[in-house]
Structure 1
Amino acid sequence: MILKNVQQIRIGHAVNVISYLIGIIGFAGIYEHIHGGYSIFFLFMLLLSIYFEYRNNFYIPRWVLTVFSVLVILFFLYKFDSSELVTQTLEALLVLLGIKFIEKKQIRDYMQIYAIALFLLSGLGLMTLGIDFVIYFLILIFLLSIAFVLLTYYAQDSELEFSKRSMVKLTVKCLWIPILAVPLSVVMFVILPRTQYPLLDFLNKPDRAKTGFTDRVKLGEVSNIQEDASIIFRASMEKVDENILYWRGIALDYFDGTSWRSLEKRLFVANEKTRIEGRRIKQLIYLEPYQNIYLFGLDRPVFISTRYVKKYDDFSFSSSIFIERRMRYEVLSVVGDSIEDKEIDQERYLQVPKGISPRIVDLVNVITRGKEGPEKIRSLYAFLHDGEFRYSLQNLPVSKNPLETFLFVSRYGNCEYFASTFAVMLRIAGVPSRVIGGYRGGYYNDVGQYYLIPQKNAHVWVEAFVPRKGWFRYDPTPASIENFAFPLQGDPLLRVRVFLDTVNYYWYAFIINYNLEKQISFLRKVRTGIKRPSLRLRLGKDTSLKYLAIALMIAGMIFIVRLFTKPRQSREKKLLSAFLQKMEKHGYRKKTSQGLEEFVSQIDDDTLREQASAFVRSYEEIYFHDRAFTHENISGLRDMLASM
């Protein structure tokens, strides 16, 4: 890249470097969304291209590469799948980008490389609009602004050379193009009209669905979910006591001996027999896509605001469509551990599997002998929660009769085994019960003011029915709340992860979810402010600090802009300025019309004149012979100045 000396950069090399960076950014944005073979192919072609550039010899004829490109297009047309339209298009573009790099590049080839990279990131926008897409896209826009200017020079003279200083100045000036475009883009984002029916939605690939609760929960299945640390949803709300953090999802009422399912879902009908009283808490839920239709909310959810939602008599909610994309909805919950209900379907909630182990029946009879109602519940709960059973996610009991194995052989298991055993034992004792699936605990992000709930917090518990009172929540699993929280202490990587999640949360909350309704609300506030302006200035302590912080931020931004845009003197000019300042201290000021040698010849002091003349001769010998001012040259001249 650098010719003759370290100060000169050939324009052709600069264009190549910026083109490689643009291609790498396009690839980096999509590599997680395509098959690994295509990534390996692209990287191989990229390395091959760099080798060709280094040898300054392109061994593959252009017509061969053109034929290969046509075959690539035909191959992708042959394997076309409408459900993978975006992914396959990105893979084809990436292969074509790799082929473009190993060609002997002309102006049109560079333009095609830039266009393909831009299409790659546009495809990423169809797959996800996360903050990572924004970062990649902004970097690409900055690089393209530089690339187009350099390419213009390259088209005029491919042998043109720039000094390093000129190249830096050119780059900085190019960056002002996208920087000045950002404020305009923000304004257009706020005011442009929106529609609730995106025309290109059919191109969007559904977000990658996570495994989650289904209508059928088999013993041991939840443990697979509990090994997944990815986030299932975020709940924007006030911080509450950790002991009430039960996120209700599904209610299961039928057990076949190895798995639970909901045999009959009945829609909720409001009546006087079902009442819920207690503290009301609102949540704004951002749910990630997962393999079912159920919606989650803080136990006990009484209302969910979203389109196409169903509420059932067991206080579970579902969407009428499969959750394949991130969705946002509001929940109103009345927290507590009971749901008042006076009449239930006894047969539905007293069902036990046929052929239930006699040993389990005998055990229940022994534990509950002489006890009635709530006493039965408490004695069975204490037997499991406070007895000789332990919580574990490893080597779970697997047999034809897993509850019998759990109770009499292994005596350990995860929440499914404790909840299933407790529910079945309650039913044997004549107490109606059901199993509730959802999530437990979570990490509260104080910056974003929301709870992060990971998949590993998947949990099941039990609700037992007490006549004339209703359903009461019991969690027989002996795991402490620490099992369902993020271990932040001493883990800096997790802190970084939470910080990045905060950025992503605000991105989705305020940018992706900025819709027509919010736009109208914003414009109404602006109109109200114009019609009825308030001239009263209220400056409390908090408000003063806020405005002070804003003022400091603006001042800091202005300082940074001035710092980077202010012309900087080179080392040789700084050295010459120091020399002239030294002469001024001795009473000699150089006139604008004077040359250096003429100036020093007029110094009366013989010693000072000799020293100044020696400095000027050394300086001019380097400067006028177009030699670089090396570190040794600068040090020597500074020593001469110091001795004057």
Structure 2
Amino acid sequence: MKLPPRPLAHEEHGLLLGQLALVLAPQARSLPVTISVLLVLLLAWRWLLWHQRAPLPSRLMLGIIAGLVMLVAAALVWQAGGNMGRDLSVALLGAFVVLKLLECRVLADATLVTQLCFYLLLSLYLFDQPFWLALYSLAIAAWLLRNWLFLGHPEARGYLAVWPLLGRLTLIGLPWALLLFVLFPRLDRPLWRLPQAEAVATTGISDTMSPGSVSRLTQSTEVALRADVQGGPLLASALYWRALVLWQFDGQTWRPSPLRQRRAQPAPALPAADDMAADAGPGETVGDAPANGIVNYSITLEPNQHAWLFLLDRGQAIAPGAGAVINADGEFFTRDPVDRRLRYRARSAPAAPQPLDLATRELALALPPGNPRTRELAAAWAEQYPDPAQRARAALRLFAAAPFSYTLLPSPLGHEQVDSFLFDTRRGFCEHYASSFVFLMRAAGVPARVVTGYLGGEYNPIGGNYIVRQADAHAWAEIWLEGRGWVRVDPTSAVAPSRVERGIDAALEASEIEALHAMRDPGWLRNLRWGMDGMVYTWQRWVLQYDRGQQARLMQQLGIGDSVPQFLLGGLAALSLLALVPLVLRRRRIDPVQAAYARFCHQLSRHGCVRAPSEGPQDFAARAARALPAAALAVQDFSDRYTRLRYGRLAPVQRSAELAELRQALRRLCRHLARRT
């Protein structure tokens, strides 16, 4: 006959509530605010009911609440354009687990809630995978296992040390996890992608530039990318992280040329030797670049929802695993927008001079109508200086000699933006100087273009890598000179040379960029931040970005090469044999008397008699006999036999006979309890 469901004790209700709250707490980082508030209210209501020992709500009340939750979800789906998405799916799962907790009365309900807590814990990794989340989820998972054990076997509290048991299980499983992580074949890309509930906001450099577009980014201290440079850190003036080339100007905004971006082909692949070296880690020397100008490096790019990649000026090749293409302007693109952290290895070197074809020359000299004062100045330079390089130096002298200032708070510009900046306000950020410089050069007959990206970065001596933030966003210019090709010219260096030499925080007042100044001030807090960032970067590099290429390089360094499947199978076979050793040893150490008593306690717990940790065998038997009068004789008979075997001094022959009688007494007790149900 089926046993009646075991009701939950008050302490068990509190245990379920606490574990669900700990599982849901990290979800607040990514769930919609409306859903987060709803979950907090439901959990608070459940806590009040538990604290006041009040009865649980009726099924009608739970049905009404579930309907309200579905209405909120439907409103959010409608707001997102009919897309359920990842965020809302996880939020609904959390909401209905809380509702299940509100009707949780028996052991079966508690088991289901605990199992769903594991699913909620795994859903945390659908958003991001920081190293602290791995530690947190492991701790919570261990606690969930401990609670699950005690829910199903309340008598285990009296004789089982749970944490040492979980520790031993972890030590047994850890070699398996490490072996599979290191040797199991890796995929270059995920097998599937989850739909987003709504369009993810883009961050970082945009594909257009207008006054204020770059300066807005300098208020953000978010990390844009991290980079390891082979051979050690470079001079700050060499750290131009190139993104896009902008050609077209309408008097307000600079944009790329769609035609030139469409002229793309697979990017040159990084040679195998350089691919290995680029991931070998930084050195100790500081220099502008090696003698041949070639720099190998690795970049970890944060998600930004854009398709372009950042390379040191000028990028020449990229690792094949990145799947990148390169266009006519030397810009590198991926197949899809970067919506997850991406690591790639690349190489930069001086570009060989290329002839300027007629179409490109026309594009690099095109100007919209307007800005007559700027055109007049540029025409005078064209007549005065026959060499285009001299005209560029004249523009730089203008920025250095006139009362120009480098600021995040420029004065508003008039309709003729370039004229207004050069002759009236003379206050601006890098986009103002790059835009006006390129306009001057084109008006003076010098082919020119705008380039956007990042400049500089903070070198972390603990992690041995550069940290480039959104605040390091920058714009500069390139002019075409006969025999030299495209030459980088940074007009900002004429106004604020410290911007190029020491970073943006050295070029601006502390009041303009307080957050970045505070982060880079010397002191123990900065060293602590460097240490934390080093741990984060190590986690990203060796765990989150452990891809097929990195696995292949590691196998080559270990001397395994093409024998990975054999090593994997051999390692699994060896671990399987080792895993049997503790089981054999444990089987030899099992006390049959204690095993019989454990089953005795388990049978009684199923009928509401749970042994307390400090309760002795005789006291427990007396209490169980009073609670189960129909089985009182069987309970007492088993207890007496157990006491004699456990604490008495018996001869081996007598002990064997008593053990057989003990097992018979246990079977009689089980039959009595079965008839009772």
The verdict on a shared fold, with TM-score over 0.5 as the criterion, is yes
Whether the aligned pair in 2 keeps the contact of 1:249 and 1:437 (CA below 8 Å) is yes
The 2-side partners of 1:129 and 1:206 are apart by 21
SS in structure 1 at match of 2:453: strand
Whether the aligned pair in 1 keeps the contact of 2:14 and 2:50 (CA below 8 Å) is no
Return the letter of the residue paired with 1:26: V
Matched, 1:428 2:425: no
Cα gap change, 1:52 to 1:34, in 2 (>3 Å): same
- CA offsets, 1:111-152, max 9 Å, x none? 233223221222222222332431332122121122123223
The 2-side partners of 1:527 and 1:427 are apart by 57
Q: CA deviation at 1:395?
A: 4.3
Indicate which of 355, 363, 375 corresponds to 1:348.
363
Structure 1 range deviating more: 364-373 or 415-424: 364-373
The 1-side partners of 2:547 and 2:199 are apart by 20
The 2-side partners of 1:375 and 1:529 are apart by 57
The 5 A counterparts of 1:125-140 are 125-140=125-140
Choose between structure 1 and 2: higher helix proportion: 2
Indicate which of 177, 197, 201 corresponds to 1:185.
177
Structure 1 range deviating more: 66-75 or 363-372: 66-75
Cα gap change, 1:528 to 1:324, in 2 (>3 Å): closer
Whether the aligned pair in 2 keeps the contact of 1:149 and 1:174 (CA below 8 Å) is no
Structure 1 range deviating more: 344-353 or 490-499: 490-499
Q: CA deviation at 1:184?
A: 2.8
Return the letter of the residue paired with 2:249: F
The 5 A counterparts of 1:55-66 are 55-65=52-62
Q: CA deviation at 1:491?
A: 6.2
The 1-side partners of 2:459 and 2:348 are apart by 18
Q: CA deviation at 1:198?
A: 4.1
Indicate which of 47, 51, 60 corresponds to 1:50.
47
SS in structure 2 at match of 1:96: helix
SS in structure 2 at match of 1:265: helix
Report what 1:504 is aligned to. 536
The 5 A counterparts of 1:116-195 are 116-154=116-154, 170-195=162-187
Cα gap change, 1:15 to 1:503, in 2 (>3 Å): farther
SS in structure 2 at match of 1:251: strand
Whether the aligned pair in 2 keeps the contact of 1:248 and 1:298 (CA below 8 Å) is yes
Report what 2:404 is aligned to. 389
The 2-side partners of 1:299 and 1:529 are apart by 34
Q: CA deviation at 1:178?
A: 3.5
The 2-side partners of 1:418 and 1:387 are apart by 13
Q: CA deviation at 1:265?
A: 0.9
- CA offsets, 1:214-259, max 9 Å, x none? 3322222112222222111111213111111111111112211111
Return the letter of the residue paired with 1:484: I
Report what 1:615 is aligned to. none
Report what 1:95 is aligned to. 95
Return the letter of the residue paired with 2:385: K
SS in structure 2 at match of 1:218: coil
Corresponding residue pairs, total: 505
The 2-side partners of 1:358 and 1:74 are apart by 60
Matched, 1:265 2:260: yes
Indicate which of 338, 361, 368 corresponds to 2:375.
361
SS in structure 1 at match of 2:93: helix
The 1-side partners of 2:327 and 2:445 are apart by 24
Cα gap change, 1:526 to 1:316, in 2 (>3 Å): closer
SS in structure 2 at match of 1:341: coil
SS in structure 2 at match of 1:437: strand
Return the letter of the residue paired with 1:147: N
- CA offsets, 1:33-57, max 9 Å, x none? 1111211122222222222222111
Report what 2:217 is aligned to. 225
Return the letter of the residue paired with 2:225: F
- CA offsets, 1:352-410, max 9 Å, x none? 112x2221122334566622312211111111144310011124534322212212221
The 2-side partners of 1:129 and 1:61 are apart by 39
The 2-side partners of 1:529 and 1:316 are apart by 34
- CA offsets, 1:591-644, max 9 Å, x none? xxxxxxxxxxxxxxxxxxxxxxxxxxxxxxxxxxxxxxxxxxxxxxxxxxxxxx
The 2-side partners of 1:76 and 1:299 are apart by 48
SS in structure 2 at match of 1:353: coil
The 2-side partners of 1:278 and 1:268 are apart by 27
The 2-side partners of 1:425 and 1:317 are apart by 28
Indicate which of 391, 395, 401 corresponds to 1:380.
395
Q: CA deviation at 1:285?
A: 1.3
SS in structure 1 at match of 2:298: strand
Report what 1:25 is aligned to. 22
- CA offsets, 1:416-459, max 9 Å, x none? 10011111111111111111111000011222222111111110
Whether the aligned pair in 1 keeps the contact of 2:381 and 2:444 (CA below 8 Å) is no
- CA offsets, 1:520-575, max 9 Å, x none? 555566565999xxxxxxxxxxxxxxxxxxxxxxxxxxxxxxxxxxxxxxxxxxxx
5+ residue gaps, structure 2, are 1-7, 267-289, 506-515, 564-677
Structure 1 range deviating more: 375-384 or 443-452: 443-452
SS in structure 1 at match of 2:260: coil
Identity %: 24
Cα gap change, 1:348 to 1:199, in 2 (>3 Å): closer
The 1-side partners of 2:111 and 2:330 are apart by 58
Matched, 1:287 2:301: yes
The 2-side partners of 1:366 and 1:198 are apart by 58
SS in structure 2 at match of 1:249: strand
Q: CA deviation at 1:319?
A: 2.1
The 2-side partners of 1:330 and 1:207 are apart by 29
Larger RCO: 1 or 2 (CA < 8 Å, sep 6+): 2
CA-based RMSD of the aligned residues comes to 3.4
Structure 1 range deviating more: 480-489 or 503-512: 480-489
The 1-side partners of 2:124 and 2:460 are apart by 28
Cα gap change, 1:77 to 1:200, in 2 (>3 Å): farther
5+ residue gaps, structure 1, are 1-10, 271-275, 532-644
Whether the aligned pair in 2 keeps the contact of 1:127 and 1:207 (CA below 8 Å) is no
Whether the aligned pair in 1 keeps the contact of 2:56 and 2:102 (CA below 8 Å) is no
- CA offsets, 1:169-209, max 9 Å, x none? 54454444345433332223223344446444346889955
The 1-side partners of 2:392 and 2:127 are apart by 50
Whether the aligned pair in 2 keeps the contact of 1:145 and 1:177 (CA below 8 Å) is no
